[in-house]
Amino acid sequence: MRRAVCPGSFDPVTYGHIDIVGRAAKQYDEVVVAVLNNINKRGLFSVDEKLDMLSEGTAELGNVTVAEFDGLLVDFCRANGIDTIVRSLRSVSDFDYELQIAQMNYRLSGVETVFMTANPQYSFLSSSLVREIAQHNGDVSSLVTPYVQKRLREKYEERATEQ
């Protein structure tokens, strides 16, 4: 069985992420979308919230599961019998950064990294841009699922009442 992992912080998951996961799901028997639980970085959403939004966004993909990990991605891969990491490239600068990580992951564990180029309609898209637009009540409906859009609105309304 060919298994791959699509790792990330997904804060929040965007249509760009879902596109890559969907394309990977056509190439592999099973795809695990792995959310990094980075204790050094506080995101907008908790890991559980991210897992929930990813589950909703990938529900139609029968061979996709979601999970969380902390520590090294290659350790997660070893523990779960995964030998391929799928990463998205939006630009040349992404490649420079991702190549170094891919080479280190291979050196540490022999896990291969496969790069998929971003769909041109999503090549500009990032979670940080989505957060910024949503924070200022901008329209993110073409960038995230309706469920994620609702969660963003709730999160920023919640933060506004706390201040």
Q: Which residues are designated catalytic?
A: 17, 41, 90, 127
- The C-alpha atoms of residue 75 and residue 80 are separated, in whole angstroms, by 9
The response to whether 125 counts as a known ligand-binding position is yes
CB 18 within 8 A of CB 146: no
The response to whether 156 counts as a known ligand-binding position is no
The response to whether 109 counts as a known ligand-binding position is no
The response to whether 69 counts as a known ligand-binding position is no
CB-based burial of residue 1 (10 Å sphere; 0-12 exposed, 13-18 middle, 19+ buried)?
exposed
The response to whether 9 counts as a known ligand-binding position is yes
The response to whether 98 counts as a known ligand-binding position is yes
- Report CA-CA distances (Å) from 142 to 92, 149, 151, 161: 25, 10, 15, 27
The response to whether 126 counts as a known ligand-binding position is yes
Give the Cβ contact number of residue 54 at 10 Å: 26
CB 59 within 8 A of CB 91: no
The response to whether 41 counts as a known ligand-binding position is yes
CB 145 within 8 A of CB 15: yes
- The C-alpha atoms of residue 115 and residue 91 are separated, in whole angstroms, by 12
The response to whether 87 counts as a known ligand-binding position is yes
The response to whether 51 counts as a known ligand-binding position is no
Q: Which residues define the annotated binding site for substrate? A: 9, 41, 73, 87
Q: Which residues define the annotated binding site? A: 9-10, 17, 41, 73, 87, 98, 122-128
Q: Which residues define the annotated binding site for ATP? A: 9-10, 17, 98, 122-128
